[in-house]
Amino acid sequence: MTHLETSLGYTFRDQRLLLTALTHPSFRHEQTDVEEDHQRLEFLGDAVLGLLAADFYYRTCETGDEGQLTRLRVTLASTIPLARAARAIGLGAHIRLGRGELESGGMERDTLLADTMEALLGAAYLDGGMPAADCIFANVILPLRKDADDTDSLDNPKGALQEWAQKNNLGSPVYSLLKEEGQPHQKIYTVRVFINEKVHGTGSGSSKREAEKQAAVKALAKIA
């Protein structure tokens, strides 16, 4: 594990945590002597990453409002930037995969790589607290921050919201027109966005598209 830990910028005191973080559910299902995969660590790492990203942008983006900071945080912690970071350190070669997952090219799949990055952050947090997780965040994820900041998600809050909803198994957001006001050439549209049949945000704009975008911004701020 030495090469991987060098790339991560952190050496685990408890190597079992590192091994678990690298264990995909498909491997555990095929190996009767493996008791745990990385799903619980992924859950923890997702929360740790969200806090680290929020703290970073709060400190470095002093003029950003809540909506902008939320979009930056959500984008940095989304699948594509995390998968890029994983590829940059050759993480795929270290993940323990089941035979079927391995043969289908799982080690190159964006979602699998991103999930494993989150699991590593969760494992580091358990091993050495937030400073340990911050080592990985600073050494692996932040160097690719510009790529994340330049992604379409910053200007596409609807896309960022959809990724969050699907990642949390909540289905796709549904946008519903609440009201339409004003003269034909000066209309104001108000839209609500539902996730899992619950209202998560309401936005207004001079077009339905703009109103949906503002509703997504409000929803992202709510889940921040």
pLDDT (0 to 100) of residue 152: 46
Among this protein's residues, is 197 annotated catalytic?
no
First CA to last CA distance, the chain: 34
46: annotated active-site residue = yes
Instruction: Determine which one of 118, 127, 134, 163 is catalytic.
Output: 118
Give the pLDDT confidence score for residue 184 in this predicted structure: 78
pLDDT at site 116: 96
* Tens of pLDDT, residues 15-34: 999 999 999 999 888 887 88
Return the pLDDT at 146.
62
Would you give the DSSP letter of residue 33?
Answer: T
Nearest Cα neighbor of 114 from 132, 131, 95, 99 is: 95
8 A C-beta contact, residue 220 and residue 68: no
The one catalytic residue among 37, 46, 134, 163: 46
Residues of the chain with pLDDT under 50: 152-154
pTM assigned to the model: 0.70
What size, in residues, is the chain?
224
Cα–Cα distances (Å) from 146 to 50, 91, 150, 201, in that order, read 17, 21, 6, 28
**pLDDT value at position 155?**
60
Domains recognised in the chain with CATH numbers: 2-152 (1.10.1520.10), 157-223 (3.30.160.20)
Q: Coil, strand or helix: which one is 210?
A: helix
Q: Which two tokens stand for residue 94?
A: 């270290």
d(CA 130, CA 198): 33
